[in-house]
């Protein structure tokens, strides 16, 4: 299991390739890439800055991954999350999961993303263009993210 918090970009293709080659009995690789959108709540976004809580971030992601490993039959997990300043189309996060069969990897990958979105201490601030005006604002947490996480609390 690998968890990396970094300012620099990453080569998602290479990371996924290394992960899936780690075991010869890997049959399924599910990955999620989150990237900066050029629009949010109707406004043009030109820059996004990500702040985090060093120390807690790694522990939160470790705990989320441990939960996924105890719930589903998966081989390995890779999480890379960037911090710092990014532009539209830049990669923010990669979560990749390998397993023997696809069902487990799909569930674990989505579970990790839903928990990361609601429990890992990252905060986004965006620079928006509204006509001629440039404005900075903190991105608000979404209720839909809380709802997405709640689904996993149901008996399974």
Partner 1 sequence: MKIKIFYFARLKETLKFSTEDLELPDDEYAGLTVLKLKAHLAKRSDVWQQMLLGKLKVRGAINHELVDDSAALSDGDEVAFFPPVTGG
The site for partner 1 (CB under 8 A) is made up of: 34, 50-53, 55-56, 59-60, 81, 92-93, 102, 113, 116-125, 138-141
Report, in Å, the least distance between residue 128 CB and its own copies.
Answer: 14
Positive or negative, the CA dihedral 107, 112, 113, 114 is positive
Q: How many residues in total does the chain contain?
A: 156
* Gyration radius from the chain CA atoms: 16
Q: Name the β-bridge partners of 99.
A: 28, 74
Q: Which does 135 bind (CB under 5 to 8 A by kind): partner 1, its own copies, none?
A: none
| x/- map, 120-149, its own copies, by CB under 8 A | ------------------------x---x-
CB atoms within 10 A of CB 25: 8
Q: Which does 79 bind (CB under 5 to 8 A by kind): its own copies, partner 1, none?
A: none
């Amino acid at each position: 299991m690998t968890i990396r918090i970094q300012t620099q970009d990453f080569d998602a293709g290479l990371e996924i390739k290394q992960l899936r080659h780690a075991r010869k009995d890997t049959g399924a690789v599910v990955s999620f890439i989150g990237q900066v959108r050029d629009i949010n709540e109707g406004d043009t976004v030109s820059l996004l800055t990500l702040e985090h809580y060093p120390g807690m971030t790694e522990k939160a992601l470790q705990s989320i991954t441990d939960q996924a490993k105890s719930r589903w039959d998966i081989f390995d997990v890779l999480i890379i999350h960037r911090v710092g300043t990014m532009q539209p189309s830049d990669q923010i996060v990669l979560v990749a999961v390998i397993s023997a069969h696809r069902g487990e990897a799909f569930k674990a990958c989505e579970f990790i993303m839903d928990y990361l979105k609601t429990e890992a201490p990252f905060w986004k601030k965006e620079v928006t263009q509204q006509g001629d005006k440039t404005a900075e604002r903190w991105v608000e947490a979404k209720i839909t993210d809380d709802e997405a996480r709640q689904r996993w609390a149901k008996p399974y």
